[in-house]
């Protein structure tokens, strides 16, 4: 049974290699066929794994596939840990990836228009794009299937690399290059923490293997370390917080969130796949995977909870004032990722992962629908130049509506169940920071509804604000675009209804997620569980639903009923707008504070340390002496035979003296 696991990551990798290296020869059709085939194989096998793990009653698999090296007792290896958590992630990743692959055929069909004429990078860009997204699928699968930190880190960095390549895919645009550099640098900060966390675990528990680390941590829960002399810190807490710093980078939590909105410079399919559905959820997956560690540290969980809550609420607010269609969805992603971390922080790991799954579907759907609008609008992304698209693009309209309803948490839609569960769980939690988190996520519901329907009304209803030329070309997108939309809409609507009971209150995750009994908020909620319908009806008695409804209503009033009002509000509440529009000045802080400060410091070090001391004395000094030595050697290599023979005889003599002399004790 296990022997096919290896093909799950390998199939997309093969596709990526063929499309990437042979793109010139196999052409466009060849490239998308081979990568889609690879991802399809992987998707089918993943679903098979999920089936076997949940319905087939298969035991979790934990085994090594390939050992690259053993250094000082530490195995550097590729190994898989396949349990239900992994199987769910694999299925989500491969399914969304497959949809995105198909969609890309339509989205990138006229990619040559996005490049300056005669650009070298623009040749075969279509094939390259497919190679990248297939490579991403491989990396993501390596990440989720890992059974050790080395492979996790490999996957972690590999998805980061592909994300970097794809954000800057249109490398002829300065804004894209800026954005990918930014994503890269911000992720460096997170990855540094992540690496330190792995290092801490390795140093104190002597292993990289998940299960071995869990056992070792359980065996000595009180282990402490001294970072500053005299202050004892719990190893688990330090390691968990450091790992979470990595998760903050990858999953764009405040204050490391600044790269995600800018990443929208990349083509829309990857915004859907990488920057909404899969890669950015790697942090959530990682924390859930490490639940046995996090459960041992109240402090770390509180940090997760508070950071998640801040992101969930404040990033949602920014979404209200954005005008770029993709940026609105991007801020919504940030906010929803915050929700997931809130769930993790409240020890409701299952709820976090559940929201991850439903979010993956409806957010991918929203992005792809936004992409469909962008195709129709000829790559115009400003919502102020849209409006009334409903009659031109019915399929996009209806699927986007379903996605938005799921996002804001309308009863019977998937997002409702996952988000409501999170809010209930936080409400039931008594962890430090949980009251703040509860209000943040509750108010966040209103904000979510407001920006979602602001976008919806601005794009599809109201006056048609585009120019005449664009209007005449408006039409529904081709089948390769709309079919994935429809296929993604199905789980966006139905998944929650069916999955909530086993995932949250049943034994779906079995042993793959560990929750301490004292922290198990989901069990508390589960004790009142009386079926899906009762849960849904119960929502009528909670404020959540009314917050969402109020959000939609306000959006309707402001953008359809009284479209002049927003401008007026903007004028009256100028300071608030200013704060939101400049995104709390995080970008400025980083650019002038860190980047500017870094540059200034770098300048000083360069002038003083580098140019004067290192270059002048050390490097050039060394280089000069090596250069001189090489010059001497060159002269010795004169080309004259007798010189060579002479050197040999001298060598022989030297060896003899050195050696016989050494033997006789002459030296």
Q: Interface residues with another protein (CB under 8 A)? A: 21, 68, 120, 626-627, 629-631, 633-634, 637, 639, 641, 643-645, 647-648, 650-652, 654-656, 658-660, 662-663
| Smallest distance, another protein to C-beta of residue 645, A | 6
Nearer to another protein, 582 or 657 (CB): 657
Locate 42 and state its tokens.
Answer: 């992987």
C-alpha 202/C-alpha 187 separation (Å) is 22
Residue in the structure block whose two tokens are 């530490």: 74
3-class DSSP assignment, residue 61: strand
The two most distant CA atoms of the chain are separated, in Å, by 106
Nearer to another protein, 24 or 599 (CB): 24
40 contacts: CB under 8 Å, gap ≥ 6: 98
C-alpha 249/C-alpha 258 separation (Å) is 9
C-alpha 361/C-alpha 354 separation (Å) is 11
Residue in the structure block whose two tokens are 């992304």: 381
C-alpha 193/C-alpha 249 separation (Å) is 9
Of the candidates 107, 259, 83, 108, the residue with the CA atom closest to the CA atom of residue 187: 259
Nearer to another protein, 172 or 655 (CB): 655
Nearer to another protein, 510 or 632 (CB): 632
Of the candidates 350, 317, 349, the residue with the CA atom closest to the CA atom of residue 335: 317
Nearer to another protein, 231 or 633 (CB): 633
Alpha carbon distances (Å) from 557 to 230, 409, 454, 551, 563: 60, 20, 10, 10, 8
Nearer to another protein, 611 or 648 (CB): 648
Q: Is 245 exposed, middle or buried (0-12, 13-18, 19+ CB in 10 A)?
A: buried
Nearer to another protein, 572 or 635 (CB): 635
C-alpha 322/C-alpha 317 separation (Å) is 10
Beta bridge partners of 70: 75
Nearer to another protein, 598 or 631 (CB): 631
Q: Specify the DSSP class assigned to residue 593.
A: I
| Smallest distance, another protein to C-beta of residue 176, A | 22
Nearer to another protein, 463 or 634 (CB): 634
Alpha carbon distances (Å) from 245 to 191, 282, 417: 8, 13, 28
User: Rounded to the nearest 5°, which phi and psi values hold at 556?
Assistant: -65, -45
Nearer to another protein, 55 or 66 (CB): 66
C-alpha 301/C-alpha 240 separation (Å) is 9
Q: How far is CA 617 from the centre of its chain?
A: 45
| Smallest distance, another protein to C-beta of residue 20, A | 11
Locate 635 and state its tokens.
Answer: 């002269």
| Smallest distance, another protein to C-beta of residue 634, A | 7
Nearer to another protein, 120 or 572 (CB): 120
| Smallest distance, another protein to C-beta of residue 639, A | 7
Locate 262 and state its tokens.
Answer: 């800018």
Nearer to another protein, 621 or 662 (CB): 662
Of the candidates 37, 112, 105, 49, the residue with the CA atom closest to the CA atom of residue 81: 49
Helix-helix angle 325-345:298-321, to 10 degrees: 160
Nearer to another protein, 72 or 530 (CB): 72
| Smallest distance, another protein to C-beta of residue 640, A | 9
3-class DSSP assignment, residue 267: coil
| Smallest distance, another protein to C-beta of residue 82, A | 23
Nearer to another protein, 616 or 662 (CB): 662
Nearer to another protein, 576 or 656 (CB): 656
Locate 133 and state its tokens.
Answer: 């997204």
3-class DSSP assignment, residue 9: helix
**Strand duo 224-226 + 74-82: pairing:** unpaired
Beta strands in 18-60 (DSSP E): none
35-72 residues labelled b (16+ CB within 10 A) or e (exposed): bbbbbbbbbebbebbbebbbeeebeebeeeeeeeeeee
Cα Rg, the chain, nearest whole Å:
28
Positive or negative, the CA dihedral 332, 338, 344, 348 is negative
Alpha carbon distances (Å) from 68 to 79, 143, 150, 229, 623: 11, 17, 11, 38, 36
Nearer to another protein, 20 or 484 (CB): 20
Beta bridge partners of 64: 79
């Amino acid at each position: 049974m296990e022997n096919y696991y290896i093909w799950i990551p390998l199939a997309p990798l093969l596709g990526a290699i063929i499309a990437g290296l042979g793109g010139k020869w196999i052409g466009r059709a060849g490239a998308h066929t081979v990568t889609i085939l690879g991802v399809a194989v992987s998707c089918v096998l993943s679903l098979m794994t999920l089936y076997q793990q949940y319905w087939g009653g298969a035991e979790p698999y934990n085994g090594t596939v390939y050992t690259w090296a053993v250094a000082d007792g530490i195995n550097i290896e590729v190994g898989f840990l396949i349990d239900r958590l992994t199987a769910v992630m694999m299925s989500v990743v491969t399914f969304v990836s497959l949809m995105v692959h198909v969609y890309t055929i339509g989205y990138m069909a006229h990619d040559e228009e996005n490049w300056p004429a005669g650009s070298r990078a623009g040749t075969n860009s279509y094939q390259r794009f497919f190679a990248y997204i297939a490579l991403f699928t491989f990396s993501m699968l390596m990440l989720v299937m890992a059974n050790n930190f080395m492979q996790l880190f490999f996957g972690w960095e590999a998805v980061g690399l592909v994300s970097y390549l794809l954000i800057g895919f249109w490398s002829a645009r300065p804004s894209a290059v800026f954005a990918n550099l930014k994503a890269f640098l911000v992720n460096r900060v997170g990855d540094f923490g992540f690496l330190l966390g792995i290092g801490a675990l390795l140093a104190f528990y002597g292993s990289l293997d998940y299960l071995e680390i869990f056992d070792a941590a359980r065996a000595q829960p009180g282990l402490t370390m001294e970072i500053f002399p005299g202050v004892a810190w719990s190893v688990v807490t330090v390691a968990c917080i450091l790992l979470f710093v990595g998760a903050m980078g990858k999953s764009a939590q405040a204050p490391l969130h600044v790269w995600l909105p800018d990443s929208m410079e990349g083509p829309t399919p990857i915004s859907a796949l990488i920057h909404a559905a899969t890669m950015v959820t790697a942090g959530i997956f990682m924390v859930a995977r490490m639940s046995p560690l996090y459960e041992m540290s109240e402090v770390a969980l509180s940090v997760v909870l508070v950071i998640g809550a801040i992101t969930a609420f404040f990033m949602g607010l920014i979404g209200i004032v954005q005008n770029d269609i993709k940026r609105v969805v991007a801020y919504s992603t940030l906010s929803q990722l915050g929700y997931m971390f809130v769930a993790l922080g409240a020890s409701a790991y299952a709820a976090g992962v559940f929201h991850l799954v439903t979010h993956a579907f409806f957010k991918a759907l929203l992005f792809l629908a936004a992409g469909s609008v962008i195709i129709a609008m000829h790559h115009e992304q400003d919502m102020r130049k849209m409006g009334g698209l409903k009659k031109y693009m019915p399929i996009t309209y209806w699927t986007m509506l379903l996605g938005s309803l799921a996002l804001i948490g309308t009863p019977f839609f998937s997002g409702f169940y996952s988000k409501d569960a999170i809010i209930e769980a936080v409400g039931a939690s008594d962890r430090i920071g949980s009251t703040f988190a509860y209000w943040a996520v509750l108010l966040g519901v209103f904000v979510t509804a407001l920006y979602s329907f602001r976008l919806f009304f601005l794009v599809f209803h109201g006056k048609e604000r585009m120019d005449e030329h664009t209007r005449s070309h408006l039409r529904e997108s081709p089948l390769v675009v709309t079919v994935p939309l429809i296929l993604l809409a199905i789980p966006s609507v139905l998944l929650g209804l069916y999955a909530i009971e086993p995932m949250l209150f049943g034994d779906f995750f079995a042993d793959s997620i560990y929750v301490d009994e004292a922290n198990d908020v989901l069990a508390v909620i589960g004790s009142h569980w009386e079926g899906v319908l009762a849960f849904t009806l119960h929502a009528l008695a909670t404020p959540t639903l009314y917050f969402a409804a109020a959000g939609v209503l306000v959006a309707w009033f402001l953008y359809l009923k009284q479209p002049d009002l927003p401008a007026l509000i903007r004028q009256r509440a100028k300071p608030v707008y200013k704060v939101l529009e400049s995104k709390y000045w995080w970008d400025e802080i980083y650019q002038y504070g860190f980047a500017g400060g870094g540059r200034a410091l770098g300048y000083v070090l360069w002038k003083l340390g580098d140019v004067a001391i290192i270059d002048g004395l050390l490097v050039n000094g060394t280089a000069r002496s090596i250069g001189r030595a090489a010059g001497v050697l060159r002269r010795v290599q004169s080309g004259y035979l007798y010189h060579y023979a002479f050197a040999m005889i001298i060598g022989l003599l030297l060896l003899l003296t050195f050696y016989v002399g050494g033997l006789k004790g002459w030296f």
